[in-house]
Amino acid sequence: MHLRKNDSIQRTLALLVTASLLYIPANLYPVMYTDALGSNEASTIMGGVVLLINLGSAPVALVIFVFSVMVPSAKLMALFYLVWTVERHSALDPRQRSRLFRIVEFIGKWSMVDIFVVTILVALVQLGGLLVILPGVAAISFAGVVVITIIAAESFDSRLIWDNMEDKDSVN
């Protein structure tokens, strides 16, 4: 038995709003800057995906798109949905909502894939000396989104999903 998480809904909602606000600069600003022989170029997440597709690296572009755009967006929407259904004491199937919560928890850690890609790329390229890659503001914002959504998922008390079922059982 574990104690209930105090103010779970309010804390989770505050973290989700914060993550949503950080998600905006994470997608609008450059995630990295490249300097190749004096030519500076900034790349956003979607700009990087388009560039990788144009360079013939569609599989890598797909991985970056899925883990940098789709997963964080889906995770935010799923957590907002869970908070919303708990707050309004929804009669929707608690097993499905509980399964959704476990999926969100599982995929949460995989959202850091593109931050790791940028980090590894920076480390590898710095060894060459001809090309310099620096992380941009979006990398910090995106890392914040990932970390805050992981904390939001941890702060959500999943037992609240089942509380409405207990209320219905006591009425019958």
pLDDT at 172: 46
Q: pLDDT tens across 26-45, in order?
A: 989 998 887 767 777 888 88
Mean pLDDT, the chain, as a whole number?
A: 80
The predicted structure's pLDDT at residue 29: 93
What CA–CA distance (Å, rounded) separates 24 from 33? Answer: 18
154/168: higher pLDDT: 154
* pLDDT, tens digit (0-9, with 9 covering 90-100), for 99-149: 988 888 888 766 666 566 666 666 655 555 566 777 788 888 988 988 899
pLDDT of residue 32: 80
Kindly tell me if the per-residue pLDDT of 49 is higher than 90.
no
Concatenating the DSSP letter of every residue in 23-70 gives HHHHHHS-SEEEEETTEEEEE-HHHHHHHHHHTT-HHHHHHHHIIIII
Residue 31 CA to residue 115 CA, distance in Å, equals 9
Measured between alpha carbons, how far is 67 from 73 in angstroms, rounded to an integer? Answer: 10
Position 171 pLDDT exceeds 50: no
Cβ contact 64:45 at 8 Å? yes
**What 8-state DSSP symbol labels residue 124?**
H
Residue among 105, 31, 100 at smallest CA distance from 69? 31
Domain ranges of the chain: 8-165
> Is residue 166 very low, low, confident or very high in pLDDT (cuts 50, 70, 90)?
low
Decide if pLDDT at 8 tops 80: yes
